[in-house]
Structure 1
Amino acid sequence: MPSVVLPTPRASATLFIGNAHELSSLNEAHIKSFGDFDGLGGVREHIEVSAVGINELLTPYANKIDFLSIDCEGLDYDLVKAIDHERIKPAVIQCEPSEHFLGGNTARMIDLMESRAYRLAAITDLNVIFERLS
């Protein structure tokens, strides 16, 4: 059964399955923001899936996370913000700001991560990568 990770614990959530599977998301508007996507755009279906909070997922590994990659189609900032940064301190965090959909999100992520003792290590076409300072 498919599962999703949320900023806060919840028993279930609606997952919108995109015609292009890599665009599936909890945010239907995010999928639609890609338009036709070479004939693969749009939502194929939506399903109810089990869910877990990000801290619930990561806490058992709190001191063992070297690299955390988050790519949740429009939910990345909310997930990163929800991480209990006092207990869970990955050495490197990569996430996708979805700047085309959430204008200014890259700057918001940088501000958030710098406030949590991370520095911006790299920006790619789609991702921002942060390195923990201490």
Structure 2
Amino acid sequence: MVDADATQKLALVGFMGALAGCSEPAEALFLCLRKLCPGNVYADMGLAMVWTLSDRTTEALCLLENLCCKSHEQHAFLELCRGIAYRQEGRHANADRCFAVVSAAGGPPSEFAALLGAASSAS
């Protein structure tokens, strides 16, 4: 079992790898984290983001729709991930609703969600 702090740090490494175009190693990392830390939403959200970046948004949204969060911060990150996946799939109204929820909640993901929502409105 990996502690929560280590899981979040490993998830950050996975996110950075996925954004750098290393989706296969990132997916492998998140799949391992899911086995080592069942029920950890950051591992699930990371896997969903890898799938979103790999044009597998249907799989990503299926995973994201079934996640339960234990805190407001986790819920904000979940809504941010959903918004990104919806936008990638072309479902802009759904994405905007997710970004609005995150923006209203405040906290770390709110500024990013506000930028994504503004970018979505401008396009």
TM-score, with length taken from structure 1: 0.31
Higher helix share: 2
Greater relative CO (CA pairs within 8 A, separation 6+): 1
- Structure number with the higher strand fraction is 1
